[in-house]
A and B are shown apart, each in its own frame.
Chain A
Amino acid sequence: MKPSHRLRLKKMLAHGFLLVALALVVLPFLMVLVTSLRKGNFPPNSLWLNPDQWSLEHWKYVLNIPYSEIVNPSTPPLHWLWNSVIVSALSSAGIILLSSTAAYAFARMRFKFRGHILQSLLILQMFPAVLALTAYYTILDSVGRHVEWLGLNTLPGLISIYLAGVSTNIWMIKGYFDTIPASMEESARIDGASPFQTFVRILLPVSAPIFAVVFILSFIYTMSEYPVASAVLGTPKTWTLAVGASSLLREHEKLWGHFAALAVLSGVPITVMFLLCQRFVIGGLTSGGIKE
């Protein structure tokens, strides 16, 4: 075989591999999209619709159109979406607040058992949150008896559980802080900045990329989290999108079309949030201040 032929063969193989990988990512999404536009409720099974199969009925359902014809008042999809956005946004913001301050301490301060605490955080994170589901349930149940708005069936209750999942984020942010030379903060200290001023005015602005990454990852996780949310949230009014969507797949009546439309809809806030955060995910924020 001539070298030029061999090169062409290599290129074709590489492209073939990439096309297969692309299909694995894109095809399921397209199938769900098609299902959401298909008349009646069928499981996702095709990529092609005949002209008489098109319908917007599922989208009308999830978007409550027309408002006069609300199909089922007890399962309002837009309300679930709103619940999800609130839970995800507040949880992600809270996670950033908790993990960035903790990471600052781990990265910059020296105290007893620092290494041990860091390691135990890592080990703790290896157990999935679902393992503690019954504990979460009991805790929220008893908390709810004293503080009603923080108990079972409340969004703040669910948020407080999500806030516990900070250890990976602490590690991630600490890793980023470790790459920022301490002399920048020392310089601020000599300039008269308090530790808190240094954190807010020097470290936070140059750490925007890692915060954007942590925020978007937390947002996606909480947006699609099902087990904990389904256990905590009992009443349809408080459901998040993931819980609401799964309720559409009932034992004897699987509303595949509704489910598919809702699934596609749940991607919208994630996409919006991703586009917002993406602006901050840029390299070289510290460049210029420090000579490496």
Chain B
Amino acid sequence: MSQGSVHIKDLVKTYTDDRGRPTFTAVKNINLDIDNGEFMVLVGPSGCGKTTTLRMVAGLEKISSGTISIGDRVVNDLEPKDRGIAMVFQNYALYPHMTIFNNMAFGLQLAKKKKDFIQETVTRTSQALGLNQMLDRKPQALSGGQRQRVALGRAIVRNPVVFLFDEPLSNLDAKMRVQMRSEISRLHGQLGSTMIYVTHDQVEAMTMGDRICVMKDGVIMQVADPLTLYRKPENLFVAGFIGSPPMNLLRGKVQKQSSGLVFTETGEQNAISIPIKGPLESLVSKYVDKPIVLGVRPEHITEESKNGSHVPLTSAVDIAEPMGSESLVYMKAGGGSFIAKIHGEKLFHQGQPLTVYVDTGKILLFDPETEAVIR
């Protein structure tokens, strides 16, 4: 079955002013294939074109060039209602003057479905979402989480092949967000429909997506499953965007010393040096004495040395953020600071010297000019 697959080919969106003059290109020639039943997350900072892309899939935004297919149909010129999609908006977009029942039934009523069918579908869906006690109320009488559940229900009753989510959890408080996150994931498991989910929150992206499409300035930076994005970011942007706290990115040079290749950070004070070992050695030969960016995640700078790939690094503590079982320690470096994740219930104070161990096996190197990973 491939009816729920979505194929985006050479997609471009250029906005124009009233006179038709181009003003801004939001989406620049992107290609993306989404499998039937896949949960695809589009993530990126605001203005990266992710919402515009979703709205073009929905049919709310005209396509400047390129094609979008759902199943084996090109949908460029189809009305939204004929595309087999349903959409959940960030601001719920419920109809405030209608009851919850009518909010959910509106689409079915317009499609001239039988009354019994509408009654049955809406009742069943509202039960599954825990809304069956509220069908006579208006949206105003509901809490934020309940309202977003109504919006979800309205999408479900349409029985779409593709669900589109436009930052559906951004307006909820932190607790409700976590709850709805798992509810949407469970829904995906039950329905097995294709879902395209737009968010600016990398935690949502990592926890919900089968695959994640990271976008920036209208261009796709990388498409991969969450673990691949975490382990093997293809460029500086993805490396810095995925992961919390973000990856340490240190600017400097690789130099040949008597002990071998060593990365030395740029900076007058506190500049740190890390020896380059293992498979990286052969990769950086071209970059000796040239600018380079070294990336290492905070969770790979720890207090203990487990094996031979760990090298010690001593610097002074700048700020520490104790989280209970672990602490994020900002340590002084040439370009400001780098973050280490120290396990155990410990307290640190400013200026305290600390030796941490960097797992050189997890280090990534980037070309600062192309911003691509060196491999």
List the interface of chain A (C-beta within 8 A of B).
Answer: 110-115, 181, 183-184, 186-193, 197, 202, 205-206, 284-292
Contacts and interface: CB of A to CB of B under 8 A. Distances in A.
Given A205-B97, A288-B139, 17 more contacts: A114-B18, A183-B91, A186-B93, A187-B87, A187-B93, A190-B60, A190-B87, A191-B154, A193-B106, A284-B140, A285-B97, A288-B140, A288-B142, A289-B92, A289-B94, A289-B97, A292-B91
B144 interface: yes
Interface of B: 18-20, 58-60, 79-81, 85-87, 89-97, 106-107, 110-111, 138-142, 144, 147, 154, 158, 171
Contacts of B171: 291
A202 B110 CA distance: 13
Contacts of A285: 96-97
Nearest to A292: B91
Contacts of B96: 184, 206, 285-290
Contacts of A184: 93-96
A191 B92 contact: no
Contacts, number: 95
Contact of A186 (B20, B60, B97, B111): B60
Nearest to A180: B96
B58 A190 contact: yes
17 contacts: A112-B20, A113-B19, A115-B18, A184-B93, A186-B89, A187-B87, A187-B94, A190-B58, A190-B60, A191-B154, A191-B158, A192-B81, A285-B97, A290-B94, A291-B92, A291-B147, A291-B171
A236 to B, nearest CB: 46
Contacts of B87: 186-187, 190
Given A190-B87, A192-B81, A192-B111, A289 B18 contact: no
A290 B92 contact: yes
B80 A190 contact: yes
A214 B259 CA distance: 84
A192 B111 CA distance: 7
A190 B87 CA distance: 7
Given A183-B93, A189-B80, A288 B138 contact: yes
A191 B87 CA distance: 9
Nearest to B82: A192
Contacts of B110: 191-193, 197
A110 to B, nearest CB: 6
A187 B18 contact: no
A21 B226 CA distance: 70
A291 B144 contact: yes
Contacts of A291: 90-92, 144, 147, 171
B60 A189 contact: yes
A190 B18 contact: no
Contacts of A111: 18
Contact of B18 (A113, A188, A206, A288): A113
Among B89, B96, B106, residue most surrounded by chain A Cβ atoms (within 10 Å): B96
Among B92, B93, B139, B140, find the residue whose CB has the most chain A CB atoms closer than 10 A. B93
B93 A181 contact: yes
A205 B99 CA distance: 13
A187 B138 CA distance: 17
The residue in A189, A286, A289 that gathers the most chain B C-beta atoms within 10 A of its C-beta is A289
B86 A202 contact: no
A202 B98 CA distance: 9
A291 B94 CA distance: 9
Contacts of A112: 18-20
Contacts of A289: 92-97, 139
B46 to A, nearest CB: 17
A243 to B, nearest CB: 41
A48 B222 CA distance: 87
- The 5 A-B pairs at the shortest CB distance, nearest first, are namely A288-B140, A289-B96, A191-B107, A288-B139, A192-B81
Nearest to A115: B18
B91 A290 contact: yes
Contacts of B154: 187, 191
Contacts of B97: 205-206, 285, 289
A190 B162 CA distance: 12
B11 to A, nearest CB: 19
Contacts of B158: 191
A113 B97 CA distance: 34
Contacts of A290: 91-94, 96
A254 to B, nearest CB: 53
A193 B102 CA distance: 14
B154 to A, nearest CB: 8
A211 to B, nearest CB: 14
Contacts of B86: 190
Nearest to A191: B107
From A188, A190, A197, A289, residue with most partner B Cβ within 10 Å = A190
A291 B166 CA distance: 14
A126 to B, nearest CB: 23
